[in-house]
Chain A
């Protein structure tokens, strides 16, 4: 399968070199593309200097917009699957092989790199939010997604086409729940994640709560009414 790793990067100057170097050195079998989402720091400069594959957005579109840019690129270049991958080094590329394997053997449309297939969920505030979203998805789709907030997801060709062109297809749990309702097959594969090494996380406490509220609202009230499109 022709695989593309999408790396949306917003102000990731401290991390992007390490992440892409690791991919280039140890995983040359996968293509990758960095999508610079109008960063204010030197992210784009570093990518150009090092000759990384780069899509450079001149203005900030937000994660959903940057991700869609990558999906459009994957669609136009005929990739069979695309992996959503963080620019801060949280995700381990070693699990991509397992995800591809699962996608092929289970004929899944979406494969989530999940921390909790075999691992146990720790009891923390952040995991309470995770559970809340898991419950909302269970309520509206009947499916159990053990790690809905995992940012490491793989999409097949059919999903790439959808994400590339449609409105309201951000790379978030609410889209996953909507796609399940539209008949997409989702499976999870165990993956370990790292703590971020440098730079600041986008999610502080207030933003995390806002995010959880928005996701729960969206999954329970809005995705429910959205027209199913197979």
Chain B
């Protein structure tokens, strides 16, 4: 086992524990935690079975499996950031309509 793999394995196990502990304390919604569990589970799997990233890096033409892992993780994170950005916009929108409804209702009740 080379150093990179050991690092990946250790870090992925730690991530998994951290995510699970936060869920245990009910600090995260289940819908949101599924992504992180899958991600940390996936990291553990590829660090135990390096043949999987090696296979993909070979058929996709990467120089080394670690390059493939980097690009795959960056891509995943970009997707995640994008999804979060959508989510944030929706939240902002909801906050606006809540505040506006409050203001309108407040004005209405004063008129009476």
Q: Which residues of A contact B (CB under 8 A)?
A: 58-60, 166-168, 174, 214, 217-218, 221-222, 225-227
Contacts and interface: CB of A to CB of B under 8 A. Distances in A.
B94 A59 contact: yes
B24 A58 contact: no
Contact of A227 (B26, B31, B97, B101): B26
A214 B31 CA distance: 8
Nearest to B105: A58
Contact of A59 (B26, B27, B37, B97): B97
Contacts of B27: 167
Give the size category of B's interface with A.
Answer: 10 to 19
Interface of B: 20, 23-27, 29-31, 33-34, 37, 94, 97-98, 101
A168 B28 CA distance: 8
A166 B31 contact: no
A58 B97 contact: yes
A224 to B, nearest CB: 9
Contacts of B31: 214
Contact of A226 (B26, B94, B101): B26
Is the contact region of chain A dominated by helix, strand, or loop, or is it mixed? loop
Contacts of B98: 58-59
B23 A226 contact: yes
A174 B30 contact: yes
24 contacts: A58-B98, A58-B101, A59-B94, A59-B97, A59-B98, A60-B94, A167-B26, A168-B26, A168-B29, A168-B30, A214-B34, A217-B37, A218-B34, A221-B37, A222-B23, A222-B33, A222-B34, A222-B37, A225-B24, A226-B23, A226-B24, A226-B26, A227-B25, A227-B26
Closest 6 CB pairs of A and B: A59-B94, A58-B101, A225-B20, A227-B24, A167-B26, A218-B30
Nearest to A59: B94
Nearest to A217: B34
A167 B28 CA distance: 8
Given A218-B34, A222-B23, 13 more contacts: A58-B101, A59-B94, A59-B98, A167-B26, A174-B30, A217-B34, A217-B37, A218-B30, A221-B37, A222-B33, A225-B20, A225-B24, A226-B24
Contacts of B23: 222, 225-226
Contacts of A60: 94
Contacts of B94: 59-60
A221 to B, nearest CB: 6
Contacts of B97: 58-59
A66 B37 CA distance: 27
